[in-house]
Amino acid sequence: MYGWGRIPRIPRIPRDTRGRLVNDVTVPPDLAIEIESPERRASRLDERCRWHVANGVRVSLLTDPDDETVREYRPGAAPRVLRSDDVLDLGDVLPGYTLVVGELFAVLTEGA
């Protein structure tokens, strides 16, 4: 796991003249994650993910705990649905980070 000081993209976070993080950030994040739920319609979340990447977010993820899928959105590419043994590679925004989709959802049933 990476500590904050070791993530190469951290220089993108705006700082004031004293080097402190600013409160009003206008730079889009590298990664946005939406989680589907009964209160949050999939079609609305799909629109949000598409908006994210159209406005500078490098990767937007829509997770659906019910069917255990992750939909990956990236600029210039069609959304990609990942399941079970598929690997989510976020190395371009979190260097060295990959995750097997099934492992993400396994934590929901651990200890049950």
Q: Where are the domains of the chain?
A: 25-106
Question: Mean pLDDT, to the nearest integer, of 5-10?
Answer: 50
Q: Which CATH superfamily is domain 25-106 in?
A: tt1808, chain A (3.90.1570.10)
More confident residue, 79 or 8: 79
| Residue 74 confidence (pLDDT) | 97
Calpha distance 73→55 (Å, rounded): 12
| Residue 108 confidence (pLDDT) | 78
| Residue 112 confidence (pLDDT) | 55
Q: How far from chain centre, in Å, is Cα 40? A: 17
| Residue 111 confidence (pLDDT) | 58
Q: What is the model's pTM?
A: 0.81
Tens digit of each residue's pLDDT (9 = 90 or more) over 24-78: 878 888 999 999 988 888 889 999 999 999 999 999 999 999 999 999 999 999 9
What amino acid occupies position 7?
I
| Residue 19 confidence (pLDDT) | 85
Q: How far from chain centre, in Å, is Cα 48? A: 12
Calpha distance 96→65 (Å, rounded): 25
